[in-house]
């Protein structure tokens, strides 16, 4: 597919493939600007659900302009080949860094990643959107620790009271290892659902694992609802006591017990050490 031209864009290099879509580095022919294009996989063309997710992701992104949120510039709604064009940010996800066990990188950059992610999420929530799928896979980070939040396919604006009366409950949407209890129960969500997911991610960044694990999706979801989490300090003794307690607060079962918004998260992270430099090494 390389060197193919779609409208005003020349496809240059394949960057990533997901379940239903792919991302390419492209060059805008008129300006020679390097951008990124997300389009459906050939076998997904004509699938109404995948089309709707792609269009919805672009529509949300077009309204968001923040240094820590990937910028979307243009949406093509054509049914036979829908796509959107976004800024070119050639960096892998936090998930890839975790898979590579890039210990030195996380030693130096975890606080940067957390503060920038929280800053981007404070902006997104302030625009009225709940991300609903905040996780390491959806955070891009480059070698210098610069962060971009991606993937708004599940982002939503909480419905009004009237529209809630006429809509069904639906089914839980998100990624099971990071879903808040209220998300699992299909309740009305606000930014505190994203704070829960952010807390699960903070747990994983400092321990290498998520707070709840299980043999099946249902077992993990049940643990989110009912099981009391342990502090990340119990897995990694180097985690500072205040940070471990703050992570537990973010993944409280009741949203009322969490920080009220990402501004409060940022205030909590201010002057906080993630690791104790003289603590023993992490358990294997």
pLDDT in tens, 38-65: 999 999 998 999 999 999 999 999 999 9
Q: Which CATH number covers residue 69?
A: 3.30.200.20
Q: Is the pLDDT of residue 158 over 70?
A: yes
Residues 198 and 250 in one domain: yes
CATH number assigned to the domain comprising residue 215? 1.10.510.10
- Domain boundary pick from 87, 114, 135: 87
Give the CA distances from residue 132 to residues 63, 69, 153, 190, in Å, rounded to whole numbers and listed in that order: 17, 15, 9, 10
* pLDDT of amino acid 165: 45
Residues labelled catalytic: 133
pTM, full prediction:
0.92
- Residue 79 and residue 105 in one domain: no
My answer on whether 219 and 144 are in the same domain is: yes
Is residue 275 assigned to a domain? no
Query: Cα separation of 172 and 176, whole Å?
Result: 9
Domain final residue, candidates 37, 54, 87: 87
Mean pLDDT of 175-191: 95
Q: Is the pLDDT of residue 159 over 50?
A: yes
Number of domains in the chain: 2
Same domain, 55 and 131: no
Same domain, 207 and 157: yes
Whether 233 maps to a domain, the answer reads yes
What is the domain extent for residue 120? 94-269
Question: Is 102 in the same domain as 233?
Answer: yes
Helix ranges (H only) for 63-180 are 94-99, 103-126, 161-165
The answer to whether residue 281 is domain-embedded is no
Q: Which of residues 57, 87, 117 is at a domain's end?
A: 87
Residue 34 lies in a domain: yes
Q: Are residues 115 and 208 in the same domain?
A: yes
Residue 180: count of CB within 10 angstroms of its CB: 27
* pLDDT class of 284 with cuts at 50, 70, 90: very low
């Amino acid at each position: 597919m390389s060197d193919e031209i779609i409208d005003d864009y020349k496809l240059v290099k394949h960057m990533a493939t997901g379940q239903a879509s792919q991302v390419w580095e492209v060059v805008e022919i008129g300006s020679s600007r390097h951008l990124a294009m997300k389009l459906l996989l050939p076998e997904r063309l004509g699938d109404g659900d995948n089309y709707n997710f792609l269009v919805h992701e672009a529509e949300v992104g077009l309204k968001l302009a923040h240094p820590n949120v990937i910028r979307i510039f243009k949406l093509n709604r054509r049914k036979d080949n829908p796509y959107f064009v976004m800024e070119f940010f050639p960096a892998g996800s936090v998930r890839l860094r975790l898979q590579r066990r890039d210990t030195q990188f996380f030693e130096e950059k975890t606080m940067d990643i957390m503060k920038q992610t929280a800053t981007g999420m404070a902006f997104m929530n302030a625009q009225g959107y709940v991300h609903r799928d905040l996780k390491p896979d959806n955070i891009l980070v480059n070698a210098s620790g610069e962060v971009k939040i991606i993937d708004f396919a599940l982002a939503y604006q909480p419905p009004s009271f009237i529209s809630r009366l006429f809509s069904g409950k639906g089914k839980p949407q998100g990624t099971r290892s990071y879903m808040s209890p209220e998300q699992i129960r299909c309740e009305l969500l606000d930014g505190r659902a994203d704070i829960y997911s952010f807390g699960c991610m903070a747990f994983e960044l400092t321990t290498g694992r998520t707070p709840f694990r299980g043999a099946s999706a249902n077992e993990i979801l049940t643990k989110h609802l009912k099981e009391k989490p342990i502090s990340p300090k119990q897995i990694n003794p180097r985690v500072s006591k205040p940070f471990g307690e703050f992570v537990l607060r973010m993944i409280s079962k009741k949203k009322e017990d969490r920080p009220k918004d990402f501004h409060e998260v940022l205030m909590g992270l201010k002057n906080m050490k993630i690791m104790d430099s003289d603590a023993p090494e992490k358990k294997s």
